[in-house]
Amino acid sequence: MNIIEILKHPWPWYVAGPLIGLTVPVLLLMGNKSFGISSSLRHICAAVIPAGLPFFKYNWRKEAWNLFFVAGIAIGGFVGNFALGNPEAVVVSDDTRQTLAALGVTDFSGLMPANIFALSNVLSLKGLIFFVLGGFLVGFGTRYAGGCTSGHAIMGLSNLQWPSLVATVSFMAGGFACTHLLLPFLLELVK
């Protein structure tokens, strides 16, 4: 099997997980840098918004490496999807398929269920409200928590930071609550 064939298939957790985890010591050794994605939006705003807002008055150039990191993630995702896409169907457990089918989600041909993320759903008034409101809530929560899941769960927990433990537990509890309590309600509204 050549390298392209290896890259086209999902990697097992015991390979991908340690590779993600190794970003922490690499960033620390490369100059005491913190891993996180949500701070890049602040850096972009500080770079392009010349307004005198105190929140954006800092030396964003010192954190420019983060912008290249995020650009690399976007480019890597694009290349991974279009050039190295998994030739096999997305694997979803039978229990999950049955649960989602009861909620009206039946198309598992891609990474995102087409029943929810079809262009007609996204461009509808209801879809725009869900996505805009949902995006705002995610952004607000990220700012309120002082970082995103990758920053807290990967970097913060590795550094034994108490706020990151609280944030990660809260992210997980919120995810479970939304999946089991809020998602069925929202899927009914989208129908």
- pLDDT number for residue 72: 92
> How many residues are listed for the chain in this entry?
191
3-state secondary structure 50-98: CCCCHHHCCCHHHHHHHHHHHHHHHHHHHHHHHCCCCCCCCCCCHHHHH
Count of other CB atoms within 10 angstroms of residue 44: 14
Half-sphere exposure of 59 (CA within 13 A, CB side): 1
The CA–CA distances, whole Å, from 100 to 110, 119, 131, 135, 144 equal: 15, 20, 20, 23, 31
Closest CA to 1 of 87, 78, 77: 87
Closest CA to 5 of 88, 92, 75: 88
pLDDT single digits (tens) 24-48: 888 888 888 877 788 888 888 888 8
Q: Answer whether 131's CB lies under 8 Å from 137's CB.
A: no
pTM for the whole structure: 0.69
pLDDT single digits (tens) 136-181: 888 888 878 888 888 888 888 888 889 989 989 998 999 899 888 8
With vertex at residue 94, the alpha carbon angle to CA 150 and CA 88, rounded to the nearest 5 degrees, is: 70
Indicate if the pLDDT at residue 111 is higher than 80: no
Q: How confident is the model at residue 191 (pLDDT cuts 50, 70, 90)?
A: low
pLDDT single digits (tens) 59-102: 888 888 888 988 998 999 888 888 887 777 778 889 988 888 88
Domain ranges (residues) in the chain:
1-88
- pLDDT number for residue 162: 92
- pLDDT number for residue 186: 76
Question: Would you give the end-to-end CA distance of the chain in angstroms?
Answer: 44
Q: How confident is the model at residue 128 (pLDDT cuts 50, 70, 90)?
A: confident
How many angstroms separate the CA atoms of 58 and 144, rounded?
A: 19
Output the six-digit token pair for 38: 């949500």
How many angstroms separate the CA atoms of 35 and 153, rounded?
A: 10
